[in-house]
């Protein structure tokens, strides 16, 4: 009969010494430990020969510590026959419902510069039981982001998770934490200030409508804002209707220096176009940095040329003319020439195809006083 541990008691932990009373007629003893009543010995099989003492003992390890039932099957071999006595008792660690505690938290690197990923490991004091164990995670600094939890698989004593590190521009620390709900372990990661940093004054360029064969250009300012020189290796475009100019690569920018990059949209077909400009560099903010590009190819560009006669009778000298335009049917007229037009003609180069406009003219005297509007002229652009 098993004398220790007492059948039905709680095991002391993941290991235990099993003791029973020897039988002077027994030539062999076999102890099977398993997680099912029909014991297969999946937790351990121990064989002991004829005993010379009153008590027989074996030491078993790797026992569950999550409150699961462990079945013990003890066999005596007497005169060639096996006699079995079966006992059941509850095995638990730190109480019948205790889960294994978090023992340690560590990461591959305790110091990080720039953008990257740190691999971290949660270690338990004992193997997780059936169903595994969820360990809560946290970070004191959003620049070192971790998932809300990590799962330690059943039978395992550790699990790995990723801490996603963002580039910082001044030195700081992040304290990572793993907890089982009762105790917690921490690991400190030092976040070093980035040395080479690329900043752009725009993350996207929208060209709007551009007439075919009439390219339009916009610019992006590239600035080195880190401690060390910034090396811009190359720029690449994903759409042929866009092109870059104004800078040659590779390019080195010392801290505080800037360069202008011109981006041209020259539509070859009508309709919407989109693309991306990828800027590769040694910036700690990551490489490449992507600028989104968009534009619309319009039909062949048109201009509207207006001409008129100067008033024949005027009480004061005429200094010039103001030209106003509105979409046909709208009363929202817009002044096209902030500076007074001294000629009796004007070329409107900002019209769009498939549109209708209305124009009127006002004269301006030497005192800056405007006359009443002229008659409205309607123009349809093909």
User: pLDDT (tens digit, 0 to 9) for every residue of the chain, 382 residues total?
Assistant: 788 888 777 787 778 899 989 988 899 999 888 887 776 688 889 999 988 888 999 999 888 776 678 888 888 998 888 877 766 555 544 433 456 789 999 999 999 887 789 999 999 988 887 778 899 999 999 999 999 999 999 889 999 999 999 877 678 999 999 998 778 899 999 998 777 889 999 999 998 888 887 889 999 999 998 878 888 999 999 998 999 988 888 999 988 899 999 999 999 888 899 999 999 998 888 889 999 999 998 877 788 999 998 887 767 788 999 999 999 988 899 999 989 999 999 999 888 777 899 999 999 988 888 888 999 999 998 8
- Residue 38 CB contacts under 8 Å (≥ 6 apart), including other chains: none
Residue 35: the pLDDT is 80
Residue 11: the pLDDT is 80
CA distance 345 to 333: 19
Q: Where are the domains of the chain?
A: 2-92, 102-192, 198-298, 304-381
Going by C-alpha positions, the residue among 126, 175, 176 that lies closest to residue 152 is 126
Residue 86: the pLDDT is 66
CA distance 278 to 292: 9
Helix (H, G, I), strand (E, B) or coil at 330: coil
Say which residue the tokens 């099977």 belong to: 32
**Which region, left, alpha or beta, applies to residue 285 given φ > 0 means left and ψ of -120 to 50 means alpha?**
alpha
Q: Do domains 2-92 and 304-381 have the same CATH topology?
A: yes
- Which helix H or strand E contains 225, and what residues bound it? none
Residue 92: the pLDDT is 44
Under 8 Å between Cβ of 318 and 308: no
Starting at the edge strand found earlier in the chain, the sheet holding 116-124 runs 102-107, 116-124, 158-165, 144-145
Q: Where are the alpha helices (DSSP H) in the chain?
A: none
DSSP notation for 32-65: EEESSSS---TTEEEEEE--SSSEEEEEE-----
Residue 66: the pLDDT is 66
CA distance 43 to 157: 17
Preceding amide of 180 cis, omega within 30? no
Going by C-alpha positions, the residue among 381, 379, 361, 358 that lies closest to residue 371 is 361
- Residue 30 CB contacts under 8 Å (≥ 6 apart), including other chains: 45, 46, 47, 48, 74, 75, 77, 82
| Architecture of domain 2-92 in this structure | Sandwich (2.60)
CATH 2.60.40.10 fits 198-298, yes or no: yes
Under 8 Å between Cβ of 114 and 191: no
Beta bridge partners of 237: 277
Residue 314: the pLDDT is 65
CATH number belonging to domain 304-381? 2.60.40.10
CATH number belonging to domain 102-192? 2.60.40.2310
Under 8 Å between Cβ of 8 and 88: yes
The pair phi, psi for residue 89, each rounded to 5°, is -155, 160
Q: What is the rounded (10 degree) CA torsion for 3, 6, 8, 13?
A: -120
Starting at the edge strand found earlier in the chain, the sheet holding 111-113 runs 111-113, 184-192, 172-179, 133-139, 149-152
Residue 97: the pLDDT is 46
Say which residue the tokens 């990080």 belong to: 112
Handedness of CA 228, 233, 238, 244 (dihedral sign): positive
Under 8 Å between Cβ of 327 and 349: no
> What global pTM score does this model have?
0.40
């Amino acid at each position: 009969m098993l004398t220790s541990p007492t059948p039905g008691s709680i095991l002391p932990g993941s290991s235990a010494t099993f003791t029973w009373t020897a039988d002077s007629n027994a030539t062999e003893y076999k102890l099977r430990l398993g997680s099912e009543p029909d014991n297969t010995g999946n937790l351990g099989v121990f064989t002991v020969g004829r005993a010379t003492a009153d008590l027989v003992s074996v030491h078993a390890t790797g026992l569950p510590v999550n409150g699961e039932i462990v079945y013990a099957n003890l066999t005596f071999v007497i005169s060639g026959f096996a006699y079995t006595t079966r006992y059941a008792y509850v095995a638990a660690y730190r109480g019948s419902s205790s889960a294994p505690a978090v023992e340690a938290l560590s990461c591959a690197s305790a110091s990080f510069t720039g953008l990257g990923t740190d691999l971290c490991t949660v270690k338990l004091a004992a193997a997780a039981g059936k169903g595994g164990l969820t360990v809560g995670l946290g970070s004191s600094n959003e620049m070192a982001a971790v998932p809300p939890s990590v799962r330690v698989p059943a039978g395992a004593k550790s699990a790995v998770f990723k801490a996603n590190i963002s580039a910082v521009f001044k030195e700081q620390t992040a304290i990572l934490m793993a907890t089982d709900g009762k105790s917690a372990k921490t690991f400190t990661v030092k976040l070093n200030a980035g040395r080479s940093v690329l900043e752009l004054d725009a993350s996207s360029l929208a060209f709007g409508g551009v007439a075919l064969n009439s390219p339009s250009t916009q610019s992006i300012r590239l600035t080195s804002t880190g401690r060390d020189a910034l090396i811009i290796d190359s720029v690449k475009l994903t759409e042929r209707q866009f092109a870059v100019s104004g800078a040659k690569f590779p390019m080195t920018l010392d801290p505080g220096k800037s360069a202008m990059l011109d981006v041209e949209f020259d539509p070859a077909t009508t309709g919407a176009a989109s693309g991306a400009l990828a800027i590769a560099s040694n910036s700690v903010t990551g490489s490449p940095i992507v600028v989104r590009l968009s534009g619309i190819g319009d039909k062949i560009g048109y201009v509207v040329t207006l001409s008129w006669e100067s008033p024949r009778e005027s009480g004061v000298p005429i200094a010039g003319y103001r030209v106003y335009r509105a979409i046909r049917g709208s009363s929202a007229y817009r002044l096209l020439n902030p500076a007074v037009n001294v000629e009796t003609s004007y070329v409107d180069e900002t019209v769009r195809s498939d549109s209708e406009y209305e124009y009127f003219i006002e004269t301006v005297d030497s005192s800056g006083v405007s006359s009443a509007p002229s008659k409205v002229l309607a123009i349809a652009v093909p």
